[in-house]
Structure 1
Amino acid sequence: MEMTAGKIHTAEVASEVCNETFEIQYYLPKNFTDLYKHNVIITFDSQDFFKYGQIERIYQKLRVDEEIERAIIVGVPYSSVEWRNHYFSPNGEHHENMVTFVGRELLKWIDSNFNTLNMANSRVLMGESLAGTFAFSVALQYPTTFPNAVAFSPFVDDAFIERFKSQPNLLQLNLYHTIGLEEDDFKTIMGEQADFLTPNRKLNEFLETEPLEYEYRELDGGHIWKTWKPELESILRHYLA
């Protein structure tokens, strides 16, 4: 495996549960050394977190001043819009298997290849849009393994809200949830008109009354990285300070 510090690498991880092999991205920060244990940030739609969010640069800036703890960034990229619908959407045919892949197989791969802290609170899941929904899905399925999850403008429907209502261990979770104020009427990547603001507010109404760590922010802007990127610094501080 390529272990050059300060670079984004790719690896292939075989999944028995999905019966296929996934490309995984990983970033080892500058001055990375296996002598220290690291937190793990896992991003979904990872190529966008690197390209548009520039998450590794934001991490590096905070880390140089030792404002946050050591971490590696592991990512699951998407190969196409259709792929996201099958794997990241809660209504997708491969969604449940993909959640299991992350919760069991990907985690095992990470902990066996890198010197990680290997504790629930040392892991943070992140995603935007459908990938944000997926981050919440993994946390809901594995609250004692992945309690920390971030979702920028997730796709939410009534069935997804029911997943939260039927999870008895919400107390374990530490969620960060954002939605843009311009997302009441916009065109999705699939070219369909959508209202994400109303269902996200509905999810917020439920979560506000539950006994979990929960940060909810309504942001100026729409369903784009220009809205999400400025949040990354405060999120990294939120979980890794």
Structure 2
Amino acid sequence: MTDYMKRTIVKEEVPSRILGESRPVKVYLPPGYNDMLSYPVLYCQDGNDFFTMGRIATIANKLILEENMQPMIIVGVSVERRKRTSEYSPVGELNAFYKQFFATELLPYIESNFPIRRQPEERVLAGDSLGGTVSLHLAMDYPDLFHNLLSLSGAFLLPTIKGIRMAADMPRLNAWMIVGLQETSVETHMGTFDFVYWNREAKEALERKKVRVTYAELRGEHTWGLWQQVLPNGLRHFFPATGL
């Protein structure tokens, strides 16, 4: 029986002049990793959560070894809880700085240290809740860098909907979005929100901008219990199986 728990995860510290600190990241290397090859990449907001509660390294190992899914490198970008809303929310004080760090410091650092393909279609941005929000705004702000979005119950509230409506058409953006049907009254420190309603609004607004949207509403709540369950389908969408 294959041991999917044998994972290779490298810890890095990305120096940032913009943030005035180094940002810890975890980098998953796929089975059979060879630095003479090149790999697509998945960037995860809330990086520690994706690795611990999302079990993304184990899921990726299983899909690569069992289903011959295309191997990828996964970068989990950490965030301090006390700064999370400020960095991830489009109205947060640190949001502009975080996005600039991500695009102009994190990407070059990762791509200079790992054999990652540099075409925008080879990069996927992933996030849960506000992590999905900042991922979408990164894709809108840097359309020449990011062409793929994996959103788990994105916190797409009114500022984001307005941002989508004001944006230019985005035909190169490929968005995979899910939300739980029990997410109609999610309590956050910003208030209580109907995430089903707001994800439907975001889907419609994105489609009007010619974004290719794959969207699903599933039974589940605003927790990793749902998100871990659907992560395999999200990975299959962006990293389809290679030919045998």
| TM-score of the alignment, normalized to the shorter chain, above 0.5 | yes
Matches of residues 170-181 of structure 1 in structure 2 within 5 Å? Answer: 170-181=170-181
1:87 maps to which residue?
Answer: 87
2:3 maps to which residue?
Answer: none
Report the CA distance between 1:187 and its aligned residue: 2.5
The DSSP-based 3-state class of the residue aligned with 1:170 is: coil
Contact 1:143 1:169 in 2 (8 A): no
1:24 maps to which residue?
Answer: 25
Q: State the alpha-carbon separation in 2 of the partners of residues 152 and 46 from structure 1.
A: 14
Q: Which runs of 5+ in 1 are unaligned?
A: none
Q: Deviations over 1:53-94 (max 9, x none)?
A: 1111111111114632221111112221x2111111111101
Contact 1:175 1:215 in 2 (8 A): yes
Q: State the alpha-carbon separation in 2 of the partners of residues 129 and 229 from structure 1.
A: 13
Contact 2:169 2:210 in 1 (8 A): no
TM-score (norm 1): 0.91
Q: State the alpha-carbon separation in 2 of the partners of residues 67 and 93 from structure 1.
A: 43
Task: Name the % identity.
Answer: 33
Contact 2:150 2:175 in 1 (8 A): yes
Q: State the alpha-carbon separation in 2 of the partners of residues 37 and 44 from structure 1.
A: 22
Query: What RMSD in Å do the two structures reach over aligned CA positions?
Result: 1.7
Report the CA distance between 1:182 and its aligned residue: 1.0
1:126 maps to which residue?
Answer: 126
Q: Deviations over 1:86-131 (max 9, x none)?
A: 1111111010111111112111011100111211111111000111
Report the CA distance between 1:43 and its aligned residue: 0.4
Q: State the alpha-carbon separation in 2 of the partners of residues 67 and 209 from structure 1.
A: 35
1:182 maps to which residue?
Answer: 182
TM-score (norm 2): 0.90
Paired residue total: 235
Contact 1:151 1:177 in 2 (8 A): yes
1:217 maps to which residue?
Answer: 216
Letter in 1 for 2:231: L
Residue 202, structure 1, aligned to residue 198, structure 2:
no
The DSSP-based 3-state class of the residue aligned with 1:121 is: helix
Q: State the alpha-carbon separation in 2 of the partners of residues 213 and 201 from structure 1.
A: 14
2:99 maps to which residue?
Answer: 99
